[in-house]
Amino acid sequence: MELRKFVKQKRRETGLTQIELAERAGLGLRFIRDLEQGKQTLRLDKVNQLLIMFGHKMEPVKFSNDDIFQKNTGDE
């Protein structure tokens, strides 16, 4: 699942608005909006600060070159 979809889903499951989520996570509203809209460049420390609220964190994941090819061509 894409990060933006995951965060939006978790936020909705907990019944929080973007403003409430930003306040609880100690982050700016703009960061939450950027993340949920799929901004390509985000600070990893802030992403993890938010994900920790939902019991998750970003970390390296092994994948193959086929995964890169499929993502770039849209084949899935």
Predicted pLDDT of residue 74: 53
CA 36 to chain CA centroid, nearest Å: 7
pLDDT digits (tens, 9 = 90+) for 3-17: 999 999 999 999 999
pTM of the predicted model as reported, rounded to 2 decimal places: 0.77
What architecture (CATH level 2) is domain 3-73?
Orthogonal Bundle (1.10)
Residue 55's region, left for phi above 0, alpha for psi from -120 to 50, else beta, is left
Token pair 């802030």 in the structure block, residue: 46
**What does the DSSP assignment read for 2-58?**
-HHHHHHHHHHHTT--HHHHHHHHT--HHHHHHHHTT-S---HHHHHHHHGGGT---
Average pLDDT over residues 21-49: 97
pLDDT digits (tens, 9 = 90+) for 56-75: 999 998 878 776 666 655 54
For the chain, domain boundaries: 3-73
Mean pLDDT, all residues of the chain: 90
